[in-house]
Amino acid sequence: MAMSNMGMNNKDDELNKLLEKKAKELVKVASNEPVELDDNNFNGFIKSRKVVVVDFWAPWCAPCFLLEPILKALAREMPCVGFGRLNTQEWPDVAAKYDVMSLPTVIIFRDGEPVDFVVGAVPKKIIADKIRNILGEN
């Protein structure tokens, strides 16, 4: 009997960890923080909203870290737009699918399809103007 209770406790722990992870993801979406993307959630994410912005980055890329706070600020300012980040070192196949050759690269998707992009660490206004143009605000 004690063995089966231990098995149940492990399953409860696993379930609680999954629930905590999902709760953290939901809080990020609710506060419109950029979502960490991977091979499993990328396609669903780019189709989750009318307009989605994805930052393709890598841990060794210094300009990528300059762009991160800009995208976080835009995410707070544009709650109707989805923002995500894809670590190209961990998920090179996803980056290759969109011909990402330089980092950072930001691709703007509309209805799940790429419609514009920015390469390099650029001022916030450049990215904001491109997003507003796609939203039809310019």
- Residue 88, token pair as written in the block: 């190209």
Catalytic one of 52, 54, 64, 106: 64
Q: According to the model, what pLDDT value does residue 1 have?
A: 47
Domain ranges of the chain: 1-30, 32-135
Our answer to whether residue 80 is catalytic in this structure is no
* Chain segment 112-121, per-residue pLDDT in tens: 999 999 999 9
* Chain segment 123-137, per-residue pLDDT in tens: 999 999 999 999 997
Catalytic one of 52, 54, 61, 95: 61
Contact call for residues 36 and 30 (beta carbons, < 8 A): no
Contact call for residues 78 and 47 (beta carbons, < 8 A): no
CA-to-CA distance for 40 and 21, rounded, in angstroms? Answer: 15
The CATH homologous superfamily for domain 32-135 is Glutaredoxin (3.40.30.10)
Q: According to the model, what pLDDT value does residue 56 have?
A: 98
How much is the pTM? 0.77
